[in-house]
Amino acid sequence: KNEVEQSPQNLTAQEGEFITINCSYSVGISALHWLQQHPGGGIVSLFMLSSGKKKHGRLIATINIQEKHSSLHITASHPRDSAVYICAVPGGGGSQGNLIFGKGTKLSVKP
Amino acid sequence: DTEVTQTPKHLVMGMTNKKSLKCEQHMGHRAMYWYKQKAKKPPELMFVYSYEKLSINESVPSRFSPECPNSSLLNLHLHALQPEDSALYLCASSQGPGLTNYGYTFGSGTRLTVV
């Protein structure tokens, strides 16, 4: 079973700062998901990536398949970015479609 | 339509009640999932439906009964729940089993409180 580790668990930043959240996993995968969850809310898929780098607005996600590591970056952070960010990888050998989740990184951006 | 719609958004039920949670998607996805999320914890898988057939049941108590009447709809029937079952219940869908690369989409969840 894949083990997913995220760091840091909690992160407080000032508005405008550059944010990095890290994710590592133990078993090779075909794709990795970055997800966002606001307090009390549902989950929004930010990125699915299998190699290299993806960018969407102020969010950038990178993955190094060989090192089994991914990072999520937020440039020019804003208080509305405050949320839990979750890294997830396919579970069940990738054959059943379910995801295995990291414990999440709680980000708080202060104005 | 690129959404997974869950109803109701909030549900309060007694331990003797029977209720159902509903999940709907019209993206043509052939795999649908139920996850349970307790406060400040990551989601935990409950059930996977693949092409309308139950493919994974993660040892969930029988007081939770899933149903997939067609490829767009997924229900979770609840009966004789316990207060510890209070949680956020999330539905998700993806293009197909094993195809987690494509279209993995979550609903906004049903916040369930058992009293």
Q: Which residues on chain A are in Cβ contact (under 8 Å) with B102?
A: 48
Q: What is the DSSP string of A2-22?
A: --EEEE-SEEEEETT--EEEE
- With 0-12 / 13-18 / 19 or more C-beta atoms within 10 angstroms meaning exposed / middle / buried, residue A65 is middle
In Å, how far from its chain's centre is CA A66?
18
For B20-36, the pLDDT digits (tens) are: 999 999 999 999 999 99
Section A1-23 average pLDDT: 95
Q: Which residues on chain B are in Cβ contact (under 8 Å) with A91?
A: 45
Residue indicated by tokens 């039920």: B13
pLDDT value for B103 = 75
Structure tokens at A5: 């580790």
pLDDT value for A17 = 98
**Mean pLDDT rounded to a whole number for chain A:** 92
Interchain pair A40, B33: CB under 8 A: no
For A55-79, the pLDDT digits (tens) are: 999 999 999 999 999 999 999 999 9
Put simply, whether A57 touches B (Cβ < 8 Å) is no
**Nearest C-alpha of chain B: how many angstroms from A17?**
25
- Is residue A80 classed as helix, strand or coil in its secondary structure? helix
**Mean pLDDT rounded to a whole number for chain B:** 92
Tell me which residue of A65, A42, A110 sits closest to B5, measured CA to CA.
A42
Letter for the amino acid at B8? P
Tell me which residue of A75, A44, A79, A50 sits closest to A60, measured CA to CA.
A75
pLDDT value for A103 = 95
Q: How confident is the model at residue A1 (pLDDT cuts 50, 70, 90)?
A: confident
